[in-house]
Chain A
Amino acid sequence: MLEIKNLHASVEGKEILRGINMTVNPGEVHAIMGPNGAGKSTLSNVLAGREGYEVTQGEVIYKGENLLDLEPEERAQRGVFLAFQYPVEIPGVSNIYLLKAALNAVRKYQGLDEVDAIDFLNLVRDRMKLVKMDEQFLHRNVNEGFSGGEKKRNEILQMAVLEPALAILDETDSGLDIDALRVVAEGVNALRAEDRSIVMITHYQRLLDHIVPDFVHVLSEGKIVKSGDKELAKELEKSGYSWVHDAPEGQTA
């Protein structure tokens, strides 16, 4: 599904990612953890194609294509989904319009006709149940006036409608109280599938209590310094990140 090879990336001339290696197979859930400034958000932004990040070395292969050669919309159309850490408010664009435009962009790439209006509404209603969102949110502008929890649920709703092959969840737990976290986690868990991979980027272990990963990677100073299974996350919870600097490099699962 996704293969990251020796990925180096800089922001404004400063190297943030210093050789990331990682393989994600279909159906797997990977968690990338690490302290502030480790490069977690840079990694998700590079994968989604945000401007301002310069890849200086390495490659990212997604379903046999070099992901880094593609525009952000081309990545999305091929099934890469980024759930934003800070979802933006877009006045004047309703949620339902966004969902339809996004779904049709994917369908167009797949050679399908635009979605039928009734099928679309049924799909959206069904997916809204996953994240316990009320239908009134469909007709509100994207994220405008939403609480932090509602914004994150809205991201997962978009994921549920678009059914991506690879979802990157960037700090999806940040700013959520425990009830909201549970709703979001249940939504994500319902979307786990054999042909869908999920990469979760998080600072805290608590998300992983709700969405249990197959693999955990520790990112520090732009490199993966340790990989393991879900037990690694618990270790981190106990001892914090201070030890990771001393860990031997390149140890992968």
Chain B
Amino acid sequence: MKQLTEITTPFGEVASAKTLPGSELGWLQQLRDKARAQFERHGLPAKKVEDWKYTSLWALSQQGFSHDAKAVSLDKTELSHVAALEDAYRFVIVDGRFSAELSELEGLEEGLSIKPLVDGLEGAQTMLGEQIDVEKPGLNAINTMLMHEGMVLQVQAGKTINKPVELLVISTAENQKLASHLRNLIQLEADAEVTLLEHYVSLADTEGFTDVVTEVKLAEKATLNHFKLQHESLAHYHIATLASKQAAGSHWHTNNISLGGKLARNDIHSQLLGEEAHVTMDGLYLVTGDQHVDNHTRIDHAVPNTTSDEVYKGVLDGNSHAVFNGKVNVHKDAQKTDSSQSNKNLLLSRSCEIDTKPELEIYADDVKCAHGSTVGQIDEQHLFFLRARGLDETAARSLLTYAFAVDVLQRIKSAPMRQALSNVIEKRLPKGA
């Protein structure tokens, strides 16, 4: 095996692996070496790999991204326009680097710990890499090789954290063609609860690449309200894995909103490993122009008496292309599984494309499972009704588009979160409403 000093990736050179955090930790080096061997054998997934059939990484591999970011200073007032939540603990990453100055991590509630990756690696041996499969076709191997920044969040047993946490990842115009490889570790002990928003945003029409893996470990009866808002520039590439192993009685409520990006791919995976565990996987994608968004979700009901509820909605305009693949796997002994999944799409133009595929595999015999997907257009009857009430066509279309998407927002229980995300989405609708 080659020495892990100089690494060549399809995304450009990494000057020296020694600068990566945790180089002194033997177990981590082994993990990185394993990932590197995996990557050298398989490279990037080709389109013949079923899970990557509709999403090509060829263009991404031709971009020649850099990994050397120059330090960027932003002022706090600029940040306040970018942040989604007003009242939150904030962990800010600017151009791939944690910014202590911009973050708001003073006076954390008792039981909550938030650290940058470099400080959280020690003791993360039982956590890091445990929720993901580094051999899965995709970017998990590259991320494990190259991860250099991220947030490590822990909540102690029995603690409910009242203020939400916003992980704010900003790309600026100062670093063009920058690749960031981020790893977030979220660990909730028994009966703990917290609300987290992962927020990815560009300050300009920056070309860039965010590769992020968020690993979530939920102990018995822990609850994570987990939101993601991906709102990067239309020249940005975003590839993410979000994975959780859930113990008995734990709840993982995810809501994944994709607005930005030239190419955005999310692989979201929940393994329900204890009885009474529940996952909500909701999502909304609004794409236009030449945007490409691909959401692959997977839920494993591994034991009896677990539940899942999934609503993904998409609004496509222009020449955009969206992919939805939702796997629900009910294992042999997982009796009394209750699972529902739906994917609905609204097409606003003739030249957009959606490939949607719900996949249900059931190996138990006493289960309740429902799934379905639809593709439709704005209903002409609805449009005429609104116009006959005085709304011009643009306003009527905009209102009907919002109405189509709104139930994904209505499913958000936290009012400030719902308001924050609604505000962002309303701005993205066709003008008029």
Contact = CB atoms under 8 A, between A and B. Distances in A.
Interface stretch (B103-111, B247-255, B381-389): B381-389
B14 interface: no
A92 B388 contact: no
A102 B390 contact: yes
A98 B403 contact: no
A195 interface: no
B387 A93 contact: no
B382 A88 contact: yes
Interface stretch (B17-25, B260-268, B392-400): B392-400
B403 A73 contact: no
Given A51-B384, A73-B387, A76-B387, A93 B393 contact: no
Given A105-B390, A106-B390, A90 B385 contact: yes
B406 A92 contact: yes
A162 B389 CA distance: 9
A73 B385 contact: no
The 7 closest A-B pairs by CB, nearest first: A92-B403, A105-B390, A76-B390, A102-B389, A72-B387, A73-B387, A92-B406
A92 B404 contact: yes
A90 B400 contact: yes
B389 to A, nearest CB: 4
Interface in A38-78: 48-51, 71-73, 75-77
Contacts of A88: 379, 381-382, 385
B403 A90 contact: yes
A71 to B, nearest CB: 7
Nearest to B404: A92
Contacts, number: 74
Nearest to A107: B390
Interface residues of A, number: 27
Contacts of A90: 382, 385-386, 400, 403
Interface string B370-386: 00000000011110111
B382 A73 contact: no
A84 B384 CA distance: 11
Centre residue among B387, B392, B403 by max chain A CB count within 10 A: B387
Interface string B389-433: 111110110011011111100000000000000000000000001
Contacts of B400: 90, 92-93
13 contacts: A48-B388, A71-B387, A76-B387, A76-B388, A76-B389, A88-B381, A90-B400, A91-B403, A92-B405, A105-B390, A109-B390, A158-B389, A162-B390
A82 interface: yes
A121 interface: no
B394 to A, nearest CB: 10
A106 B390 CA distance: 6
Interface string A122-162: 00000000000000000000000000000000000010001
Main secondary structure of the interface of B (DSSP, over half): helix
A1 B266 CA distance: 59
Given A49-B387, A75-B388, 16 more contacts: A51-B384, A71-B393, A76-B387, A84-B385, A87-B385, A88-B379, A90-B386, A91-B403, A91-B407, A92-B400, A92-B407, A93-B400, A98-B389, A102-B391, A105-B392, A109-B390
B400 to A, nearest CB: 7
A101 interface: yes
B402 A105 contact: no
A77 B390 contact: yes
A101 B395 CA distance: 9
A73 B406 contact: no
Contact of A93 (B388, B392, B403): B403
A101 B391 contact: yes
A207 B184 CA distance: 68
Contacts of B407: 91-92
A73 B391 contact: yes
Nearest to A90: B382
B78 to A, nearest CB: 32
A109 B385 CA distance: 18
Contact of A82 (B382, B388, B402): B388
B171 to A, nearest CB: 33
- Residue in A82, A93, A162 whose Cβ sees the most chain B Cβ within 10 Å: A93
Contacts of A76: 387-390
User: Which of the listed residues A48, A88, A91, A92 has the most CB atoms from chain B within 10 Å of its own CB?
Assistant: A92
Contact of B399 (A75, A101, A109): A101
B319 to A, nearest CB: 26
Contacts of A162: 389-390
Interface in B40-80: none
A48 B385 CA distance: 10
A43 to B, nearest CB: 15
A66 B421 CA distance: 45
A107 to B, nearest CB: 9
A12 B396 CA distance: 26
A79 B404 CA distance: 29
Interface in A206-225: none
Nearest to A105: B390
Nearest to B401: A92
Contacts of A158: 389
A75 B388 CA distance: 8
Contacts of A91: 403, 407
Nearest to B392: A73
Nearest to A48: B388
Contacts of B381: 88
A102 B395 CA distance: 11
Contacts of B382: 88, 90
Select the residue from A50, A71, A106 with max chain B CB neighbours within 10 A.
Answer: A50
Interface core residue of A51, A72, A75, A88 (most chain B CB under 10 Å)? A72
A69 to B, nearest CB: 15
A245 to B, nearest CB: 33
Nearest to A142: B385
A77 B387 CA distance: 10
